[in-house]
Amino acid sequence: MINSTNRSLVNLLMTLVAGFVVISFTTACSKNQDQPNVELIQDMMISPAIKPQEGDVDSPNNSGMRVPPEGTQPVGFIPYKYANDIAGAAQNQNPLGSDSSEAVMKVGLKYYSTQCAVCHGEKGEGSAAANSAVGTKMALQPPSLVSDKMRAWTDGQIYHVITVGQGMMGPYASHIPQKYRWQVVNYIRSLQKDNK
């Protein structure tokens, strides 16, 4: 019968032996730099992962791109609870408040410039006044973000339109990450203050 003291000694001995084996193996491998690596676990050196647009011979239709199972979500994803609730979205509170710090404005400017300015203009005046790259060519002109109507909107309403879209504007949830949308809202608010 093994008592607890003997069990502890056996565990310690096993740990020391395992450590010795690992150290011996890594030392032996590091001395032979001109020799190829030894692959202990298959598929660790060359991943069998399928890259986007690549075919997969083991799947139906040889398609490597598959629709994820229903209900799956990326790690850290928080579903937008106001997707179908416009009244609730208007009450959604901006966690940043009216933070116009340099860090918030930099992120807001980055995403506004790459995603919003092409239609709404660099200063948010709308495509008709802004000579925007894309907006002037659209049949229905994108609105001004610095108008009195937009100033009356809540931060939650602006966030809602960025997330799910409105009218001709599609959703930008996949273009502007969830954690940066409030910075874009605050940046739009700064444009409204600058354009009084």
Q: Which residues contact 45 (CB under 8 A, 6 or more apart)?
A: 37, 39
Q: Is residue 33 part of a domain?
A: no
**CA gap 190, 100 in Å, rounded:** 7
CATH number where 141 lies: 1.10.760.10
User: Cβ distance 160 to 89 under 8 Å?
Assistant: yes
DSSP class of 51:
P
Encode pLDDT of 61-99 as tens digits.
888 777 788 888 878 778 889 988 989 999 999 999 989
Q: Is residue 2 part of a domain?
A: no
Q: Is residue 154 part of a domain?
A: yes
Q: Is residue 31 part of a domain?
A: no
**CA gap 146, 194 in Å, rounded:** 9
Q: Is residue 23 part of a domain?
A: no
**CA gap 51, 60 in Å, rounded:** 17
Count of domains forming the chain: 1
Q: Is residue 61 part of a domain?
A: no
Q: Is residue 171 part of a domain?
A: yes
pTM over 0.75: no
Q: Is residue 115 part of a domain?
A: yes
**CA gap 25, 165 in Å, rounded:** 58
The whole domain housing 136 covers: 103-194
Encode pLDDT of 102-145 as tens digits.
999 999 999 999 999 988 989 988 866 666 778 778 888 888 99
Picking from 124, 129, 163, 127, the residue whose alpha carbon sits closest to that of residue 146 is: 124
